[in-house]
Amino acid sequence: MKILVTVKEVATVDDAFEIDGTAIDERYLSADLNEWDDYAIEEAVQLSEDGIVDEVVTVTIGDEDTEQTIRQALAKGADRAIRVWDDALEEVDLLDVGAKVAILEAVVAAEEPDLVLTGVQSGDDSFGATGVALAEAVGTQWAAVVNQLDLDNGADVASVHRELEGGLEELTDVDLPAVLSIQTGINEPRYASLRGIRMAQRKELDHQTLADLGVDAGDVAGDLELTSMYEPESESDTTVFEGSADDTAGQLAELLREKGVAQ
């Protein structure tokens, strides 16, 4: 059985930042492995270690700089990686769901995995839709927001728990092949070991262009145009306690006593 895991490098933003046009100024951004994808990688690697999966392949849409993040996934136990990038993608302001799917669909067609794992969402644009849209595009089954996955050797069905709102889980069987979007908390993602990091350097990281995948540049232009970005206005009239930690703690203690919730 082969698993394809979509891995995204996301930008994390400093506490204080400036916006430059429709983007956050690069000075205030750092790159990181998308949190949800970290859980998806771990789930795939565990299935591989349990002997249920033969190969774990990752796919990332990103420029050369994302290779550092891809190596993290390889160091955690993925077998090989595919990175998709070319000049047409450089031009795109906001890679929307349709554009991501156009690329990933071509990768799925080439790799023919039995299972695709994606994170539920990414920490930057938070569309939360790529996995399900991809499943529909490639004509497989899917399940969104999976927080438990049971898969037996040679099974043609995956049993999953989907995390609904309000502390409720849905128990669902999904025919394979399928795309599952993985929720945080499904497992405990490992840190990459030194040995893993060394081994990752020797693993295959295959760069593909849109032309290699047979994707038309027009398909990645997307339907959504990012027209503005701004800091949300605060609607609250928060009272900020000022001073040293002792001062602010004193003011908070007074408030709690006033409210009668603590003595």
Looking at residues 59 to 118 of the shown chain, list those that interact with other proteins (rule: CB under 8 A): 94, 96-98, 101
With CB under 8 A as the contact rule, the residue among 16, 51, 87, 91 that binds other proteins is 16
Shortest Cβ distance from residue 45 to other proteins (Å)?
18
At 8, phi and psi to the nearest 5?
A: -120, 140
With CB under 8 A as the contact rule, the residue among 32, 55, 86, 136 that binds other proteins is 136
Q: Which of residues 206-225 bind other proteins (CB under 8 A)?
A: 223-225
With CB under 8 A as the contact rule, the residue among 130, 182, 200, 215 that binds other proteins is 130
Span from 7-15, 60-68, 69-77, 110-118 in contact with other proteins (CB under 8 A): 7-15
Cβ contact 169:163 at 8 Å? yes
Shortest Cβ distance from residue 142 to other proteins (Å)?
7
Query: Would you say 97 or 107 has its CB closer to other proteins?
Result: 97
Shortest Cβ distance from residue 204 to other proteins (Å)?
30
CA 183 to CA 169: how far, in whole Å? 12
CA 105 to CA 116: how far, in whole Å? 11
At 189, phi and psi to the nearest 5?
A: -55, 135
Contact status: 36 vs other proteins (CB under 8 A): no
CA 218 to CA 129: how far, in whole Å? 21
Both tokens assigned to 37: 């994808």
Contact status: 31 vs other proteins (CB under 8 A): no
Contact status: 155 vs other proteins (CB under 8 A): no
Q: Which of residues 156-215 bind other proteins (CB under 8 A)?
A: 161-175, 178, 181, 184-185, 188
Measured between alpha carbons, how far is residue 245 from residues 157, 170, 238, 251, 255 in Å?
Answer: 56, 45, 18, 10, 15
Place of tokens 């990103």: 62
Give the 3-state secondary structure of residue 164.
coil
Cβ contact 95:222 at 8 Å? yes
Shortest Cβ distance from residue 173 to other proteins (Å)?
5
